[in-house]
């Protein structure tokens, strides 16, 4: 049984919205410039690939539309590489500036837009049948103008001990 939220109701609520009532919700897609589909989304500032199904148990959306904070977790029956390419192309179309990316078994893409930061994590399932995409958006932390942090503590430091890491076990 699928849970259907009335997107207009979710948008109209100014209180925090927590996705619940079931495990997955189909999400409407929006492409940059597609105002009608974008108006029906709970969040409008990130691209939603076709066939997205929101994992309600792992998603948390506080507020709505372009002023939300939290995590949207989606599941797909697409290859992880296709979704990496989708986000690399579509996040800039939604105004997000790429900061860094790591592509591997679990790919991580980071973006900034104004005073907000977004991380897109793309991970294929153990059996390779599904791909999970987690988009986390939060306010950017203010720093010292992009320079490295300064430490005023001048007390003597203990030497750093380095040990080789054990190889990960594969079951």
- Which pLDDT band holds residue 129 (cuts at 50, 70, 90)? confident
Domain range summary for the chain, segments of one domain joined by +:
7-139
Give the three-state DSSP class for 24: strand
Q: 35-81 pLDDT, tens per residue?
A: 334 333 678 899 998 889 989 899 999 987 778 999 999 999 889 99
In the chain, % of residues over pLDDT 90: 42
pLDDT value of position 15: 31
Nearest-CA neighbor of 109 among 72, 146, 141, 84? Answer: 84
Q: Which pLDDT belongs to residue 111?
A: 98
Q: pLDDT tens digits, residue range 4-22?
A: 333 333 333 333 333 333 4
**Architecture, CATH, for domain 7-139:** 2-Layer Sandwich (3.30)
Mean pLDDT of the chain: 73
- In 3D space, the residue among 76, 111, 88, 94 whose CA is nearest the CA of residue 38 turns out to be 94
Here the tokens at position 91 are 């996040």
pTM: 0.62
pLDDT digits (tens, 9 = 90+) for 113-128: 999 999 999 998 777 6
Token pair belonging to 93: 């179309």
What's the whole-number mean pLDDT along residues 98-112? Answer: 96
**Is the pLDDT reported for residue 101 higher than 60?**
yes
The pLDDT of residue 32: 46
* Range of lowest pLDDT (37-51, 91-105, 156-170): 156-170
């Amino acid at each position: 049984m699928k849970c259907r939220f009335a997107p207009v109701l979710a948008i109209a609520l100014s209180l925090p919205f927590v996705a619940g009532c079931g495990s997955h919700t189909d999400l409407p897609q929006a492409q940059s410039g597609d105002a009608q589909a974008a108006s029906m989304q709970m969040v409008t500032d990130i691209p939603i690939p076709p066939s997205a199904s929101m994992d309600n148990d792992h998603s948390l959306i506080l507020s709505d539309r372009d002023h939300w904070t939290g995590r949207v977790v989606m599941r797909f029956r697409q290859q992880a590489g296709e979704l990496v390419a989708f986000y690399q192309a579509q996040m800039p179309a939604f105004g997000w500036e790429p900061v860094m990316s790591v592509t591997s078994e679990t790919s991580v893409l980071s973006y900034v837009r104004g005073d907000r930061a977004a991380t897109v994590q793309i991970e294929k399932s153990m059996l390779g049948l599904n791909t999970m995409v987690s988009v986390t958006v939060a306010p950017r932390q203010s720093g010292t103008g992009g320079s490295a942090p300064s430490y005023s503590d001048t007390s003597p430091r203990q030497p750093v001990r380095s040990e080789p890491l054990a190889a990960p076990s594969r079951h």
